[in-house]
Amino acid sequence: MPDPNPAVLDYLANRRSPGAKLFTAPVPDRDQLMQILTLATRVPDHGKLEPWRMIVLDRAAMTRLADLAEERARELGADAEKIEKGRGQFDRGHLAVVVISSPKDAEKVPLAEQVLSAGALCMNLVHAATAAGWGACWLSGWPSHDATFRARAFGCAPEETVAGIIHIATPGPMAPDRPRPDLARLVSWS
């Protein structure tokens, strides 16, 4: 017989994604963040490859990356809206953890499983930070999908991608719940 954990079930049933734009200081200190990171790394990791790495961005790094995003957008001939979107998440950020999907050359572990491990790490970061009382929001944005920006900002090799940028800080007001998927339309039974 299973032994349900009502607190976890309740958390999952009521989880929402707070808007990172509304986050404020303070942010977790180094010890608090290390606890969050330790919990978050308990992800499926076939073969113990650790096919990901993380970069912690403090406020100063966020300012540097906002400037870098604007510079890259101008190189691409972007309009004002794209420039603002590129700067936006960094300009308004207080602290974030960038999860880099960094696949390893391993015959026994398919690339897809390695990439999914990085995605699982992103979701675990959101859950661990939220469980610790912080606001957490998983974002990406066009700069994280631009190979030149990734290389300049995070030292990404060509085979590396940004799985997510997890903003962590004091949460603002909780957004209303959004409509949830229609499971009758999405689930089939075999």
Can you say which residues are annotated as belonging to the binding site for FMN? 15-17, 42, 46, 138-140
Question: Residue positions in the annotated binding site?
Answer: 15-17, 42, 46, 138-140
167 φ/ψ angles, rounded to the nearest 5 degrees: -85, 135
User: Residue 37, Cα to own-chain centre: how many angstroms?
Assistant: 12
Calculate the dihedral angle through the C-alpha atoms of 173, 126, 159, 53, rounding to the nearest 10 degrees: 120
**Is the N-terminal amide bond of 173 cis, ω within 30° of 0?**
no
Output DSSP code: residue 46. G
| Cα–Cα distance, 143 to 57 (Å, whole number) | 15
Q: Across-strand partners of 24?
A: 170
